[in-house]
């Protein structure tokens, strides 16, 4: 099967990954009133020269601006900007390819005024523009219906997506005080917000459609730049459907892109062995890896590897069930340290490692056919889990929805995996006080400082907790005064670059 990619023109947004350091050595107040250079006279013929510079609003995002400039002899450029509160910030340096180029400013504050300058340079020196003025716009009316109540001390930006009834979906990022600093609006009638992430190429991807991973409905992933320009879309054609849970864009050993995601199809299945009907339309999933030309490089099919009898998580099928459902429900896709796949199957209550070349199941954790025994876990394992990830030390961190715990309770939990002796030993967990139970969705992310960001997405709440079990920061998201569902919450340190949060 070949897959469909739709490309669109986009603003270039390539970040220079060199030895340039974003050092704020001077303030806006001290900038020269005109273009300047401190280079010796004999070097001025080869240093950059700024011919013109102007700033315009970004049509995709009022918290962003597009600076267009013309420069001679320049290799790279950045914009340094300062708001009314004298908070100084800067874009990274961007490589230039022509005389006229653009730099996109991100993360402005709503309705705030800014002073900014363009700085261009090459190996011989640099020069800055006249001071420009820009005022960020007020948030769109639909985004004004989103309330973000934060408390405590956090860091960086939190990335998530929110559905606003009648207005569509917003991909958004907000700071630790709950102020929205970036967004991209997608009009539509999605019931739930889609899966959103920052890809390794610097762009974002968002699932758009009404599928929850089982329905016979179309859907697609849209890739877009931080500036908001759509780059391309990924979809599949019936009888397969695109799953809404995960998409990864990576670079293969040949230097070409690879796309990793789930699809699903439907078959008539006999569910009487597990209490269901004799002829039920059932969805099963495929793990797919595509080459950049849309051809299939790898496919792993749950119909070939899993048994319907392994379906243990509620809701269980009933004898008269005839509605579409799935028996596996992969809700997360990520990679082990050796590059093989880590997949979470909700309905199985199981996390699985799959060989990325052969499709062999390397191990299973949890569920009826677990290769591991749990140790030191007061709840005896996880249930209906989401968002597993392998930490740099090889441990497994996940969000345990806890549907089969008695009583049901959700938590974040970390296991040390001994793949030789096949034991999963609990080394850390966080159980909220009072307990929280989320039927679906959820995320857990280990931050660079050792804290863990836990997204209780079904109830619109997230908490950053320390290794000492204390909540350092928390946030509640609501739409029209009611707690809203989000799929995941991910901490990013910046909208400009890819650094470990």
Q: Are 365 and 352 in contact (CB under 8 A)?
A: yes
Alpha-carbon distance of 366 to 343, in angstroms, equals 12
Give the C-alpha separation, 208 to 224, whole Å: 13
Sequence-separated (6 or more) residues with CB below 8 Å from residue 266:
216, 239, 281, 282, 283, 284, 324
Buried b (16+ CB within 10 A) or exposed e, 44-62: eeebbbbeebebeebebbb
Question: Rounded to an integer, what distance in angstroms lies between the CA atom of residue 85 and that of residue 106?
Answer: 17
Bridge partners (DSSP) listed for residue 431? 411
Exposure letters 218-255 (e unless 16+ CB within 10 A, then b): ebbbbbbbbbbbbbbbbbbeeebbbbbbbbbbeeeeee
For the record, the structure tokens of 463 come out as 């908490």
Q: How far is CA 268 from the centre of its chain?
A: 34
Residue 255, Ramachandran bin (φ over 0: left; ψ between -120 and 50: alpha; else beta): left
> Using an 8 Å Cβ cutoff, are 49 and 96 in contact?
no
* C-alpha distances in Å from residue 149, one per residue of 221, 437, 475, 478: 29, 20, 5, 9
DSSP H helices in 386-483: none
pLDDT tens for 364-423 read 999 999 999 999 999 999 999 999 999 999 999 999 999 999 999 999 999 999 999 999
330, 295 contact by CB (below 8 A): no
CA distances from 356 to 119, 305, 333, 361 (A): 45, 15, 12, 10
Q: Residue 73, by phi and psi: left (phi above 0), alpha (psi -120 to 50) or beta? A: left
Q: Which residues contact 213 (CB under 8 A, 6 or more apart)?
A: 243, 244, 245, 262, 264, 283, 285, 326, 329, 330, 331
Diameter over CA atoms, the chain: 88
Residue 386's nearest CA partner among 500, 493, 249, 489 is 489
Report the pLDDT value the prediction gives residue 45, as an integer from 0 to 100. 65
CA distances from 395 to 83, 94, 214, 241, 391 (A): 42, 37, 31, 33, 5
- Which tokens is 295 given? 């051809």
Alpha-carbon gap, residue 285 to 326, rounded angstroms: 8
Residue 463 CB coordination number (10 Å): 22
Task: Give the count of beta carbons closer than 10 Å to the beta carbon of residue 259.
Answer: 21
Question: Which residues have CB under 8 Å from 285's CB, separation 6+?
Answer: 213, 243, 262, 263, 264, 301, 302, 326, 328, 329, 330
Q: Is 166 exposed, middle or buried (0-12, 13-18, 19+ CB in 10 A)?
A: exposed
User: CA 368: distance to chain centroid?
Assistant: 31
Contacts of 341 (CB under 8 A, 6+ apart): 260, 287, 300, 333, 334, 335, 353, 354, 355, 356
Name every residue whose Cβ is closer than 8 Å to that of residue 486 and which is 6 or more positions away in sequence. 160, 161, 162, 193, 441, 455, 457, 460, 477
d(CA 98, CA 259): 31
d(CA 145, CA 136): 19
Q: What is the pLDDT along the chain (501 residues), one digit of tens a residue?
A: 545 555 433 333 332 323 332 222 233 333 333 344 455 555 556 889 999 999 999 999 999 999 999 999 999 999 999 998 888 999 999 999 889 999 999 999 999 999 999 999 998 899 999 999 999 999 999 999 999 999 999 999 999 999 999 999 999 999 999 999 999 999 987 778 999 999 999 999 999 999 999 999 999 999 999 999 999 999 999 999 999 999 999 999 999 999 999 999 999 999 888 888 888 899 999 999 999 999 999 999 999 999 999 999 976 555 344 456 899 999 999 999 999 999 999 999 999 999 999 999 999 999 999 999 999 999 999 999 999 999 999 999 999 999 999 999 999 999 999 999 999 999 999 999 999 999 999 999 999 999 999 999 999 999 999 999 999 999 999 999 999 999 999 999 889 865 444
CB–CB of 241/235 below 8 Å?
A: no
Whether this prediction's pTM lies above 0.85 is answered by yes
Q: Where are the beta strands (DSSP E) in 236-337?
A: 241-251, 257-269, 280-291, 296-301, 325-326, 330-335
Beta strands in 145-256 (DSSP E): 146-152, 157-164, 168-174, 180-186, 196-198, 204-209, 219-224, 230-235, 241-251
- How far apart CA 269 and CA 88 sit, in angstroms, is 61
């Amino acid at each position: 099967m070949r897959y469909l990619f739709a490309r669109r023109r986009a603003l270039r947004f390539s970040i220079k990954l060199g030895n340039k350091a974003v050092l704020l050595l001077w303030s806006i107040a001290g900038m020269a009133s005109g273009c300047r250079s401190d280079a010796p006279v004999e070097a001025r013929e080869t240093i950059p020269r700024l011919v013109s510079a102007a700033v315009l609003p970004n049509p995709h995002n009022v918290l962003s601006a597009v600076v267009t400039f013309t420069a001679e002899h320049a290799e790279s450029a950045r914009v340094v900007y300062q708001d009314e509160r004298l908070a100084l910030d800067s874009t990274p340096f961007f490589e230039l390819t022509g005389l006229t180029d653009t730099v996109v400013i991100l993360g402005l504050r709503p309705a705030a005024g800014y002073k900014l300058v363009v700085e261009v340079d090459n190996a011989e020196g640099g020069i800055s523009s006249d001071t420009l003025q820009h005022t960020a716009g007020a948030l769109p009316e639909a985004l004004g219906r989103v309330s973000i109540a934060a408390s405590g001390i956090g860091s960086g930006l939190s990335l998530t997506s929110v559905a606003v009834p009648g207005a569509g979906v917003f991909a958004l990022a907000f700071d630790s005080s709950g102020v929205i600093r970036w967004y991209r609006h997608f009009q539509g009638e999605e019931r739930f917000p889609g899966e959103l992430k920052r890809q390794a190429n610097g762009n974002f991807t968002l699932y758009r459609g009404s599928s929850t991973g089982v329905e016979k409905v179309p859907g697609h992933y849209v890739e877009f730049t931080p500036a908001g320009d759509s780059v391309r879309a990924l979809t599949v054609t019936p009888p397969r459907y695109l799953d809404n849970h995960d998409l990864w864009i990576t670079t293969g050993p040949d230097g070409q892109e690879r796309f990793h995601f789930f699809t699903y199809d439907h078959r008539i299945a006999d569910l009487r062995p597990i209490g269901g009907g004799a002829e039920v339309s059932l969805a099963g999933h495929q793990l797919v890896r595509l080459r950049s030309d849309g051809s299939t490089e790898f496919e792993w099919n749950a119909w070939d590897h899993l048994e319907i009898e392994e379906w243990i998580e509620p809701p269980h099928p009933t004898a008269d069930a005839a509605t579409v459902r799935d028996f596996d429900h992969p809700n997360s896709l990520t990679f082990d340290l050796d590059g093989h796949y880590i997949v979470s199957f909700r309905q199985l209550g199981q996390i699985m490692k799959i060989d990325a070349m052969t499709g062999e199941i390397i191990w299973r954790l949890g569920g009826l056919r677990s290769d591991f025994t749990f140790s030191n876990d007061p709840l005896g394992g996880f249930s209906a889990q989401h968002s597993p990830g392998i930490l740099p030390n090889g441990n497994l961190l996940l969000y345990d929805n806890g549907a089969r715990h008695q009583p049901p309770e959700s938590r974040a939990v970390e296991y040390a995996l001994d793949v030789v002796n096949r034991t999963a030993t609990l080394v850390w967990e966080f159980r909220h006080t009072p307990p929280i139970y989320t039927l679906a969705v959820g995320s857990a992310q280990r931050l660079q400082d050792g804290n863990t960001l836990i997204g209780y997405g079904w109830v619109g709440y997230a908490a950053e907790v320390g290794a000492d079990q204390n909540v350092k920061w928390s946030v509640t998201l609501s739409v029209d005064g009611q707690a809203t569902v989000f799929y995941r919450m991910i901490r990013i340190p910046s909208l400009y670059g890819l650094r470990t949060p």
